[in-house]
Structure 1
Amino acid sequence: MAKLTPLQKRAVRKARHGTGLDMNLVSLIDVFTILIFFLLSNSSEVEILPSSKSVRLPESTAEQSPKDTLVVVVSAEDIVVDGRTVAKVADVMAARDDLIAPLKDMLTVQQQTRQVVRSQNAEEGQAITIMGDKDIPYQLLRKVMFSCARAGYADVRFAVRQKVST
Structure 2
Amino acid sequence: MPIVTPGKRPAKRFEKSKILGGKIQRGKKATNTELNVIPMVDMMTMLVIFLLQQFSSTGEVLYMQKDIQLPDARHGQTIEIAPVVAISGSQIVVTGEKVADVADLDRDSGYLNIPGLEERLRDEKKRWEYLHQNDVEKKWDGQVNIQADKGVPFRIVKRVMYSCGVAGYFSLNFATLDLGGAEAQQKAPGAG
Same fold by TM-score greater than 0.5: yes
Matched, 1:122 2:166: no
Matched, 1:146 2:137: no
Equivalent residues in 2 for 1:42-121 (5 A)?
A: 42-94=55-107, 95-114=109-128, 115-117=130-132, 118-121=135-138
Tell whether the 8 Å contact from 1:72 to 1:80 is kept in structure 2 after alignment. Answer: yes
Q: State the distance in 1 between where 2:94 and 2:147 align.
A: 10
Q: State the distance in 1 between where 2:102 and 2:156 align.
A: 8
CA distance 1:113–1:60, change in 2 (3 Å):
same
Structure 2 unaligned segments of length 5 or more: list them: 1-17, 30-40, 186-192
Any idea what the Cα deviations from partners look like across 1:62-92, whole Å, max 9, x if unmatched?
4522211000110011011122211111111
CA distance 1:122–1:54, change in 2 (3 Å):
same
Q: State the distance in 1 between where 2:26 and 2:138 align.
A: 67
Matched, 1:159 2:175: yes
TM-score, normalising length: structure 1:
0.71
Which structure would you say has the larger Rg? 2
Aligned length: 153
Tell whether the 8 Å contact from 2:61 to 2:80 is kept in structure 1 after alignment. Answer: no
Post-superposition, which runs of at least 4 consecutive aligned residues in structure 1 deviate over 6 A? none
CA distance 1:64–1:84, change in 2 (3 Å):
same
The alignment yields a C-alpha RMSD, in angstroms, of 3.6
| Partner SS for 2:145 | strand
More helix by share: 1
* Amino-acid identity (%): 28
